[in-house]
Chain A
Amino acid sequence: MTILLTLIEENVPKLPRHAKLRFDEARKKWIINAPERVFELDEIAGEVMQLVNGKSSISVIIDVLVKKFKGAPRDIIAKDVLAMLQPLADKGFIIL
């Protein structure tokens, strides 16, 4: 059963067993496979999801992205990361 959760930076997100991230060569995109649905990720969502591993907190994920995309202010990246993960959490495809 899925419990509704509101993500904060301290959370350590992961995918449930039935949702799987992989790179699809045919589409040249990162995708998440889930029961009867496919999430096609854009470039940034793909970057974020590759860092979701059940070990790193959202805050750590943000820091990695800040380093990677030099020049982007941390608060903007933080906002983007949370805004990207929350809809997946709402549907039970991001759990803690």
Chain B
Amino acid sequence: MTKIKVEKQRTEQKISFHNVKEKLQIPYAVLCELTHRCPLSCPYCSNPVELEMKSREIDTETWKKALSEAVKIGILQAHFSGGEPTSRKDLEELVQHASSIGLYTNLITSGVLINEERLKKLYDAGLDHVQVSFQDTDPENSNRIAGYKGHEKKLHTAKLIRKVGLPLTVNAVMHRQNLHNLKSMIDMAVELDAERLEVAQVQYYGWALKNQTAFLPTREQLDTATEIVEEARIRLKGVLAIDYVVPDYYARKPKSCMGGWGRQFLNISPAGKVLPCHAAESLDFLNFDNIKDNSLSWIWEHSESFNRFRGTSWMPEPCQSCDRKEIDWGGCRCQAFALTGDQNATDPTCELSPYRHVLDEPLANVGKEDIPDFIYRKIKVQRNIN
């Protein structure tokens, strides 16, 4: 979801640069999940299966404190996400605060709850960038996947974002049931005057793992998609940047998740839990510290959850002796744990993993099975049974 690309700009006259290997890195970005409330119920939602209720959400002042501490530890960008972040009435106030202390602000939204007036307010508050999710280009299928009739509204919002003068990224999670529309997704992004299109892949933990058979694309679908992206990247150079990676199941090497555990990124949950990645709560054996109890600086340095998979010393073989261990940093811990039950397991994406079969087995059946109905994301309703 949130990846920060770090580019080191160098002039011709290079200054001698000692690459001191530090144990503790300075983080780049914080993902603020303001709420888990969302009108959509996408079956691949990256929110945890146990969603937080509104009553457990941290208040405006606590968020402001967290943002101020984020700048102090060197964080440069704040992403406001959810759930649907525009469900929070104090979004403008938080953007204003973040912007005033020098954070670069990005809103990650479904776009279904926002109007022009609010977008203008956010612009005035200093918002720098907006990312809107689309479930498909076919309105009917888009609404079906989201479990909400919001496609037309999303298109309208995307146009308003550009009208107000904000740069736009279109985020599209592509899978078995919408990859046939990848071409029109690219066209749509160009038409909406987006600067970037993020072709995101489903990662299989939490909600998505419940829906794996419904989402896993076929090899043919994937090959066609790769060709489409390669062609479009050349044709649209300078017009639209396209982020696209081969999904883990079809890859042979793991990807570095979040630029490495506890290296570049931290996430704050609606209840104030500070997590090394937005899915980390699926690692239910970890203890997470809360921004209400500790400073962000202390948590970044000392929290058990951040230190658990930081660096390389936790890695088993074949990772430990692998020359890619500081490239992939052990891949995706959440997916590895969800698929193998072993928290230290080599990411099963890796061709050297003893667990590679947990990916290959479902792949062998892709396209042969009927597509099951979705299990939609929903907040567990608390029932009082007398």
Interface residues of B (CB under 8 A from A): 2-15, 17, 26, 28, 72-74, 76-77, 102, 104, 106, 128-129, 165-167, 169, 193, 195-196, 237-239, 243
Contact = CB atoms under 8 A, between A and B. Distances in A.
A15 B2 CA distance: 23
A35 B129 contact: yes
8 contacts: A17-B167, A26-B74, A33-B104, A37-B6, A40-B9, A42-B11, A42-B17, A44-B11
B76 A18 contact: no
A68 interface: no
Contacts of A79: 12
A36 B26 contact: no
A17 B239 contact: no
Given A2-B195, A24-B76, A37 B12 contact: no
Contact of A44 (B7, B15, B169): B15
A3 B238 CA distance: 6
B10 A35 contact: no
Contacts of B73: 26
A36 B2 contact: yes
B15 A39 contact: no
Contacts of B13: 44, 80
Contact of B169 (A33, A36, A41, A83): A36
A45 B10 contact: yes
Interface residues of A, number: 37
Contacts of B238: 2-4, 90, 92
Contacts of B9: 32, 39-42, 45, 84, 87-88
Given A20-B104, A33-B77, A38-B76, A1 B193 contact: yes
Contacts of A37: 4-7
Interface in A67-87: 79-80, 83-84, 87
A51 to B, nearest CB: 14
B7 A35 contact: no
A43 interface: yes
Given A18-B167, A31-B76, A42-B8, 9 more contacts: A18-B128, A18-B166, A32-B9, A36-B243, A38-B7, A39-B7, A40-B9, A45-B11, A92-B195
A84 B9 CA distance: 8
Given A31-B76, A41-B9, A36 B196 contact: yes
Contacts of B4: 36-38
A83 B196 contact: no
B26 A26 contact: yes
A24 B72 CA distance: 10
Nearest to B165: A17
Contact of A83 (B12, B106, B166, B239): B12
Contact of B74 (A4, A20, A27, A48): A27
A40 B26 contact: no
Contacts of A44: 11, 13, 15
A2 B194 CA distance: 10
B259 to A, nearest CB: 11
A1 B194 CA distance: 8
Given A31-B76, A38-B6, A80 B128 contact: no
B214 to A, nearest CB: 28
Contact of B239 (A2, A24, A27, A90): A2
